[in-house]
Amino acid sequence: MQLLDGKLLSENIKMELAAEVDQIRLKGGKIPHLAAVLVGENPASQVYVSSKIKSCEQVGFKSTLVRRPADIGEAELLDIVYGLNNDPDIDGFIVQLPLPKHISEEKITLAIDHRKDVDGFHPVNFGRMAQGMPAFLPATPFGIMEMLRRHNIETSGKHCVVLGRSNIVGTPMALLLSRKGYPGDCTVTLTHSRTRDLAAEVRRADIVVAAIGIPQFVKADWVRDGAVVIDVGINRIADATRKSGSRLVGDVDFDAVAPKCSHITPVPGGVGLMTVTALLMNTLKACRKEIYG
Ligand code: NAD
């Protein structure tokens, strides 16, 4: 079994990005600039945003954090989005989800200029991705594709079972893996909460991508010997042996499943770190105008 080490891989990619920034600086070019909008005090969102900002600093990108209280009005948040759309120094930005209930996430996502949508959530980017056109890919699936590619994991003709059909992970993952080219050319089954016999579906998989948000849900007897298992889940469970009283686990019962796999991602230290790195890769693409010219 080989561990797909997201920490090591993301550090390597960050070194490549830092080297690119050095080159840009030498040539007097524009330094990539990512902005993040954080609304409210959601603890997970605060952790995610601060890790995005910290990662920008590590590779030499400029970053801007826009923080607003949870009671910000929708119109005011839209104004912030329009301001970032029109700021020529900002190459890309994200509005961290989830947003407070009184704000429409759909409205905010649609208001983001798709040329700066480095999260890849705007329907223009999603549609372009689905048609195989150049697009900002959603960061988590992009990070997973990069992980498969950089580990030379064979995907052509493989049967991939994706668990979960969210717009940000499951559905784009299924699309990307079924697309022509490498990594891709898989035969994909997209499963969800209404799937009749999930265990039977997973047993047929050469590649499993679990993104449902239920701790340690995927069991060892569901997984075929030699399967590649990508665990996207980030779930906090109680653990009295830890000082904090809790720990993070994925959607896969790691200890039982890992011995059966050819490759598996750990949680933490797997997909999560690659997600942040993919966001940086998208920001560089935005700065270089690689997608939209
Ligand atoms: P979501 O809550 O939007 O969607 C969950 C999906 O799981 C739904 O499509 C639902 O149909 C499916 N599902 C729920 N219960 C199921 C069941 N019993 N059987 C089969 N399918 C079931 O989730 P999301 O935003 O895609 O996130 C999923 C997990 O991934 C969460 O733990 C989240 O924290 C994590 N996540 C991690 C990263 C990362 O960077 N590693 C990024 C995004 C999300």
Q: What is the mean pLDDT of the chain?
A: 97
Q: Determine whether the shortest distance from the Cβ of 278 to ligand 1 is under 6 A.
A: no
* Residue 19 CB-half CA count within 13 A: 6
Token digits of residue 106? 């759909």
**14, pLDDT greater than 90:** yes
Using the atom order of ligand 1, give the atom closest to the CA of residue 169. Answer: 26
Rg for the chain (alpha carbons), in Å? 19
What's the pTM value of the predicted model, to 2 decimals? 0.97
pLDDT tens-digit readout, 169-203: 999 999 999 999 999 999 999 999 999 999 999 99
Asked whether residue 247 carries a pLDDT value surpassing 90, the answer given is: yes
pLDDT for 57 beyond 90: yes
For 198-229, the pLDDT digits (tens) are 999 999 999 999 999 999 999 999 999 999 99
Measured CA angle at 166 (ends 164, 169), to 5 deg: 85
pLDDT band at 167 (very low <50, low <70, confident <90, very high): very high
With the most atoms of ligand 1 within 8 angstroms of its CB, the residue from 212, 252, 265 to mutate is 212
Q: Is the peptide bond before 268 cis (omega within 30 degrees of 0)?
A: yes
Cα separation of 75 and 87, whole Å? 18
- pLDDT of 286: 98
For residue 215, give the amino acid letter: P
For the chain, first and last CA: distance in Å? 42
43 Cβ neighbours under 8 A, 6+ residues apart: none
| pLDDT tens profile 111-166 | 999 999 999 999 999 999 999 999 999 999 999 999 999 999 999 999 999 999 99
pLDDT above 90 for 95: yes
Q: How far is the CA of 27 from the centre of ligand 1 (A)?
A: 43
Q: Assign 168 a pLDDT band (cuts: 50, 70, 90).
A: very high
User: Which residues does the annotation mark as catalytic?
Assistant: 52, 96, 119
- pLDDT surpassing 90 at residue 293: no
**What tens digit of pLDDT does each residue of 271-283 get?**
999 999 999 999 9
User: Which domains are present in the chain?
Assistant: 28-113 (3.40.50.10860), 139-273 (3.40.50.720)
User: pLDDT confidence of 4, banded at 50, 70, 90?
Assistant: very high
- Which H, E and C letters describe 169-182, residue by residue? CHHHHHHHHHCCCC
